[in-house]
Amino acid sequence: MPHPSSSPIPALDALKRAGLLGTAAQVAVLDYLQRTEHGHFSAEEIHRRIAASGDRMNLSTTYRVLNQLVEAGFVANVSLGKHHSLYELNTGEVHDHLVCVVCGRIEEFSDPTINRRRVAIAKKFGLRFIGKTLALHGVCAACAARAHPPRPRAK
């Protein structure tokens, strides 16, 4: 995948500073995630979106690049339950996720109380804290309304 000769991309600089080459594939992935901040995507989705925009890149390259970006700290890999591994831009802000099990929609939230308790609990158990996974699963308002319409209108 060759570099498209477009205007200078902010992602490129950051990549080089992190010691990566800043190849077209790396730029494409990081750039996509930066442009969709607060989006959550599977590796395959990211691959598909980039392909849709004209640059073709192999799926295994997408995985390799994502792993590099995670290691370099640009991207976070969140596991929201079985077979639900998503990538998001690492903004540095601690946050957790709400997941609608019907439509798959994902929202972010951050609760200082929970965050404080987490630290306290890790300390209490003597755990040198590395990371956390917190996701609340449920049915979002829209899906609940669709499933149990408040007043099914006659047609």
Partner DNA sequence: ATGGATGCAAACGCTTTGCATAAAT
Partner DNA sequence: ATTTATGCAAAGCGTTTGCATCCAT
Per the CB < 8 A criterion, the answer to whether 99 and 81 are in contact is: yes
Considering the complex, what minimum distance in angstroms separates the CB of residue 96 from its own copies?
Answer: 9
Comparison of 85 and 110: residue with beta carbon closer to DNA: 85
Neighbours of 103 (CB within 10 A): 12
Token pair 């079985």 is found at: 82
User: Would you say how long the chain is, in residues?
Assistant: 155
Which residues in the 64-103 window bind its own copies by CB under 8 A?
Answer: 77, 79-82, 85, 98, 100-101
CA angle 110, 113, 114 (to 5 degrees): 65
Binding residues vs DNA (CB under 7 A): 1-3, 16, 20-26, 42-44, 56-61, 63-65, 67-68, 82-83, 85
Binding residues vs its own copies (CB under 8 A): 77, 79-82, 85, 98, 100-101, 107, 109, 111, 113-114, 117-118, 121-122, 125-141, 144
